[in-house]
Amino acid sequence: MFRLDLYQRYLMREIFAAIFLVLLAFISLFAFFDLINELRSIGKNGYQLYQAMFFVALSLPGLVYELIPIAALIGTLYALSTLARHSEITVLRASGLATRDLLMTLFRVAGLLALLIFLVGEALVPFSERVAQEMKARAMSEVIAQQGFESGLWVKDGRSFVNIRQATPDARLQGVRIYKFDDAGALESVTDAEEASFVPPGHWLLKTVVRTVLEGDTSRVERLPGSEWNSAVNPDLLSVLMVAPERMSLYGLFNYTRHLLENHQKTERYEIAIWKKLVYPLATLVMVALALPFGYSHSRVGGVSLKIFAGVMMGMLFYALNGLFSNLGIINSWPPFASATAPSALFLLAATGMLWWVERR
């Protein structure tokens, strides 16, 4: 399996060179656009140019993760088209190289790229994305998230509903209100605290507490300088809100999804993200298979430039379908597995059809 023939080493070297050249070009282009987008925030609350550049630099692993499959398609297509133009593919086929053998060589390249995607997506992207968001939040004195509500962030914790006005990147909560219900669903108490700070391993220290306790038809108010709050909510769960589900690690996704399930909340978005994290690296296999027919069509399809244009269009279509099916899956409550795998499945069918057509010709 790991022993390579001379032609395999040659093909893999040419394909890797083309893929990483395309990847470098795409990363440079997208990073430039990201920097242009960040320029609009420079000057707000002390946000400086060097901080914007640092933010864009920390976003690069995320770009690498998203762009490798597209670069695999365009780079493989370019390399095979160039080899076909020089009749090298024709010579290999005349020497007895079957389509299956050539496809297996491409799959070796795709397998290494899939491993790279998985490592980048699990080891680099969650960390760099979180650091980038925390750095920007601190620079602009912003809160972590407010979930689109003017009242702040709402979290369900067992039989309690928690309202947080502001959650800062240093794991401090401001303006905390806790509505606690009993087993019958009746409101038991309302606790207000000006601030909460996390104390490892598992509780919060509330400051300036006002607790209203409801007892039948009566109520009483307790005022305390401080109080402990034991909760399943922790800084790790709150920091999830700073990172898009697609940029989180599998561990973080599983942990947050379990928390939502335990509190009987919707999990479709995070379940789709889990399946996408598992399936997305395998998209490189589909991309190189889709590029292979172009290596056989040097006399039937236009020049290399036309094939590169077709590759760019297909890559953009795959990128768009990836986001489209994820959003449609959330809106229409489609099965998470189907929503995550549909784009790759469609492109796999297209690759299979094109290979069948080429072999028949």
- The per-residue pLDDT for 137 is 67
- Quick check: 249 pLDDT over 90? no
Instruction: Name the 3-class secondary structure at 188.
Output: strand
Please give the structure tokens belonging to residue 202.
Answer: 């598992």
Nearest Cα neighbor of 282 from 118, 44, 93, 75 is 118
* Strand order from edge to edge, sheet including 160-168: 153-157, 160-168, 172-181, 187-199, 203-215, 218-230
Q: Side-chain half-sphere of 289: how many Cα atoms within 13 Å?
A: 22
Query: What would the pLDDT profile of 263-293 be if each residue is shown by its tens digit?
Result: 677 788 889 999 999 999 999 999 999 998 8
State the residue for tokens 């925030």: 41
Query: What would the pLDDT profile of 157-186 be if each residue is shown by its tens digit?
Result: 778 888 888 766 556 787 889 999 888 888
User: Concatenated DSSP letters for 247-313?
Assistant: GS-HHHHHHHHHHHHHTT---HHHHHHHHHHHHGGGHHHHHHHHHHHHHT-TTTS--HHHHHHHHHH
- Quick check: 140 pLDDT over 70? no
Highest-scoring range by mean pLDDT, 151-155, 306-310, 313-317: 313-317
Contact 133, 54 (CB under 8 A): no
Across the range 122-136, mean pLDDT stands at 86
Euclidean distance between CA atoms 144 and 171, whole angstroms: 10
Please give the structure tokens belonging to residue 259.
Answer: 């928390």
- Quick check: 13 pLDDT over 80? yes
Euclidean distance between CA atoms 295 and 81, whole angstroms: 5
Helix (H) or strand (E) holding 84: helix 60-85
Task: Judge if pTM exceeds 0.85.
Answer: no
Contact 33, 59 (CB under 8 A): no
Contact 293, 354 (CB under 8 A): yes
Query: What would the pLDDT profile of 188-228 be if each residue is shown by its tens digit?
Result: 889 999 888 888 777 889 998 999 988 877 888 888 888 88
Query: What would the pLDDT profile of 336-348 be if each residue is shown by its tens digit?
Result: 999 999 999 999 9
Helix (H) or strand (E) holding 45: none
Q: In whole angstroms, how large is the CA radius of gyration of the chain?
A: 26
